[in-house]
Amino acid sequence: MTVHEHGRYSTGVEDLPYRSVPEAAVGRLAVYLRVLTSMIEQGVTTMSSEVLAGAAGVNSATLRKDLSYVGSYGTRGVGYDTARLVEHIERLLGLTRHHSIAVVGIGNLGHALANYPGFPDRGFPVTALFDVDEDLIGVPVGGLPVDHVDSIPAICAEREVTIGVICTPVPAAQGVCDLLVAGGVRCILNFAPVVLQVPDDVEVRRVDLAVELQILSFHQVRRGNGIGPVVEPIDPIAVSR
Amino acid sequence: MTVHEHGRYSTGVEDLPYRSVPEAAVGRLAVYLRVLTSMIEQGVTTMSSEVLAGAAGVNSATLRKDLSYVGSYGTRGVGYDTARLVEHIERLLGLTRHHSIAVVGIGNLGHALANYPGFPDRGFPVTALFDVDEDLIGVPVGGLPVDHVDSIPAICAEREVTIGVICTPVPAAQGVCDLLVAGGVRCILNFAPVVLQVPDDVEVRRVDLAVELQILSFHQVRRGNGIGPVVEPIDPIAVSR
DNA sequence: GCGACTTTGTTCCTGCGTTCACAAGCGGCT
DNA sequence: AGCCGCTTGTGAACGCAGGAACAAAGTCGC
Ligand SMILES: NC(=O)c1ccc[n+]([C@@H]2O[C@H](COP(=O)([O-])OP(=O)(O)OC[C@H]3O[C@@H](n4cnc5c(N)ncnc54)[C@H](O)[C@@H]3O)[C@@H](O)[C@H]2O)c1
Ligand SMILES: NC(=O)c1ccc[n+]([C@@H]2O[C@H](COP(=O)([O-])OP(=O)(O)OC[C@H]3O[C@@H](n4cnc5c(N)ncnc54)[C@H](O)[C@@H]3O)[C@@H](O)[C@H]2O)c1
């Protein structure tokens, strides 16, 4: 059991001030939010759980239960007021204020993220870029100049960065992570295929594309959709040598 | 070896020729695989579940249970033979053959993916690129020329593409998805923030970065680490208007 | 060769998450 | 105004995943 010095609450996330919301539900709520905003742009003012669930790709009972974490803001016999629902979901997800993002490692992936307008549009302004490559320092990417990694702690603290995005090669990821934590960043999105070690009060989410591909590969083979010759059984004698 | 007696589950996933492996376990096995290959490169030939679990960031009991889906290839009192374990995990995940990838939408993100060496290195060669932009057609990206989206069905079938990666803007995603399915692609990795509608035998995995950020935002706020004033209660009268 | 130690593989159990099902509530229709 | 049909919100059941604990099994030291 890994009990670190930071482990204030040992039983996980029990002592929450509000009703406990399952992690899986939080992710789905973010999806509902996007569907709803898209619907609102099309002039939809009311939606039933059945329709919204269909658009979000989930069971309608699951959707209603998820929304019950937000509160009871539907009207029986009618459905949900889209605008009001958006407001309350945003509140629950903490989107009532902006969360500054810092991107570290302005290579192929970092460039794409730094230029992506979808983040600032959703309340996640990119306010700092970092790299170790001298040729990149000072160069503006997406309108923001790149700073040196050494200044991560100072700049992150100064600009109140709440989310750090790591797009560096694997060997640099842990060091960059430590710098972000030193700068007060408590939420990290990690694209480097490595498991980061962080204090208990830091939340890391990993986006691992190779793992996604391998899960797809598993389903492909398991499903028997193999195109070529696929899985020949291992010869136990040859294996045990 | 042990088939659960009270659990002949038909969880939507049809008749499996082997023991049923939980989806979550599949994802973790892919992580173990990477840790193991990295360790093998460093000359490690044997690992205990405790050490491997630490490196992968999971509980050691969970790790052993996951490995039990693969089979019993450990040695009590010693640990696991790294090379042998890699071989068997790759077999389970269907990595004994290559899975051709097609990337559709060669914009910022598509460029990054097409140039990423980590995919071919892991047995996922990128064999087709598509876009609708005439200026891009024929231009080589990562050594491979871009083809027109209209040729998706023909080229995917011809090159036996098994995984399609969608990096187009949201409005184009569903159409591109349909073309991929028409070309025989049964596994799709979707970066566009939209829920795709597909036949039952097509597996879609969505990589939704905005959702990831919003989950982080939720934890940040829930944790009380807010920097500014954050969640003031909604005035019910003002809301109901 | 034997005992003690190490580590696996598995079993049991607890808790979460999803789904079913239905009563309660609301609007519209007559 | 009152009834009818539709939709929400939730209580209960169920299936699954994760963690603790332990017995079996094999190794290493002596
Ligand atoms: N490109 C992709 O499509 C893709 C896909 C999956 C995963 N990834 C992962 O994302 C990460 C970045 O990928 P990429 O393709 O952008 O790589 P890249 O090589 O194009 O860019 C890496 C950047 O990180 C910078 N860097 C190196 N060391 C650094 C340090 N110590 N501090 C700060 N910056 C540093 C480099 O200067 C470079 O600009 C890698 O870990 C890769 O495995 C990328
Ligand atoms: N860039 C990012 O960091 C990022 C992050 C999260 C999500 N996304 C999502 O990924 C997708 C791509 O993002 P991007 O930044 O690369 O966008 P982009 O605008 O840079 O590239 C989109 C590409 O798709 C092509 N395209 C347009 N319509 C097409 C069609 N019908 N068929 C084929 N190709 C078509 C365009 O020509 C362009 O090359 C978007 O849906 C975006 O929301 C991107």
B177-206 pLDDT tens trace = 999 999 999 999 999 999 999 998 899 999
Q: Tell if B10 CB is < 7 Å from nucleic strand C.
A: no
- Tens digit of pLDDT for each residue in A221-237? 877 654 433 333 433 33
Question: What is the A172 CA–ligand 1 centroid distance (Å)?
Answer: 9
The token pair that represents B4 in the structure block: 């659960």
Coil/strand/helix, residue B104:
strand
CB atoms within 10 A of CB B137: 17
* pLDDT band at residue B239 using 50, 70 and 90 as cut-offs: very low
Q: What is the pLDDT of residue B233?
A: 39
Q: What is the pLDDT of residue A19?
A: 60
Q: What is the pLDDT of residue B224?
A: 63
The token pair that represents A33 in the structure block: 């939010």
Nucleotide nearest residue A51, measured CA to C1': D7
Coil/strand/helix, residue A130:
strand
Question: What is the B10 CA–ligand 2 centroid distance (Å)?
Answer: 37
Indicate whether A77 pLDDT > 50: yes
The token pair that represents B160 in the structure block: 């036996």
Interface of A with B in 42-101 (CB under 8 A): 55-57, 84, 87-88, 91-97, 99, 101
What is the number of the ligand 1 atom nearest to the C-alpha of B118?
Answer: 43
Least confident of A52-66, A153-167, B14-28: B14-28
Indicate whether B228 pLDDT > 90: no
Give Cβ neighbours of residue A70 (< 8 Å, ≥ 6 apart): A29, A85, A88, A89, A92
Cβ proximity of A82 and A55 under 8 Å: no
Which percentage of chain B shows pLDDT scores above 90? 77
Q: What is the pLDDT of residue A72?
A: 80
Q: What is the pLDDT of residue B116?
A: 97
CA-based nearest distance B6→chain A, Å: 23
Q: Tell if B76 CB is < 7 Å from nucleic strand C.
A: yes
Cβ proximity of A125 and A100 under 8 Å: yes
Half-sphere exposure of A12 (CA within 13 A, CB side): 4
- Measured CA to CA, the distance from residue B188 to residue B171 in angstroms comes to 17
Give first-to-last CA distance, chain A, whole Å: 36
Q: What is the pLDDT of residue B103?
A: 98
Pairing state of beta strands B144-148 and A100-104? unpaired
Long-range contact pairs involving B52-60 (C-beta distance under 8 Å, separation at least 24): B52/B80, B55/A195, B56/A195, B56/B28, B56/B31, B56/B32, B57/A195, B57/B31, B58/B28, B58/B31
Residue appearing with tokens 């960031």: B57
Reading phi first (left if > 0) and then psi (alpha if -120 to 50, else beta), residue A158 is in: alpha
CA-based nearest distance A41→chain B, Å: 14
Q: Is A139 near chain B, with CB under 8 Å? A: no
- Tens digit of pLDDT for each residue in A19-41? 678 989 999 999 999 999 999 99
> What stretches of A57-205 show up as alpha helix (H) in DSSP?
60-70, 82-92, 108-115, 118-121, 152-158, 170-182
* pLDDT band at residue B19 using 50, 70 and 90 as cut-offs: low
Interface of B with A in 170-229 (CB under 8 A): 186-189, 193, 195, 201, 203, 205, 207-228
Pairing state of beta strands A144-148 and A140-141? antiparallel
More confident residue, B17 or A177: A177
- Tens digit of pLDDT for each residue in B111-164? 999 999 999 999 999 999 999 999 999 999 999 999 999 999 999 999 999 999
- Tens digit of pLDDT for each residue in B79-105? 999 999 999 999 999 999 899 999 999
Give Cβ neighbours of residue A150 (< 8 Å, ≥ 6 apart): none
Indicate whether A11 pLDDT > 90: no
CB atoms within 10 A of CB A204: 18
Please, where in chain B does CATH 1.10.10.10 lie? 7-92
Which CATH fold would you assign to the domain A7-92?
Answer: Arc Repressor Mutant, subunit A (1.10.10)
Q: Is A187 in Cβ contact with B205 (below 8 Å)?
A: no
Q: Is B217 in Cβ contact with A94 (below 8 Å)?
A: yes
Instruction: State the architecture of B101-207 in CATH terms.
Output: 3-Layer(aba) Sandwich (3.40)
More confident residue, B72 or A171: A171
Pick from A118, A195, A234: CB nearest B91 = A234
Please, where in chain B does CATH 3.40.50.720 lie? 101-207
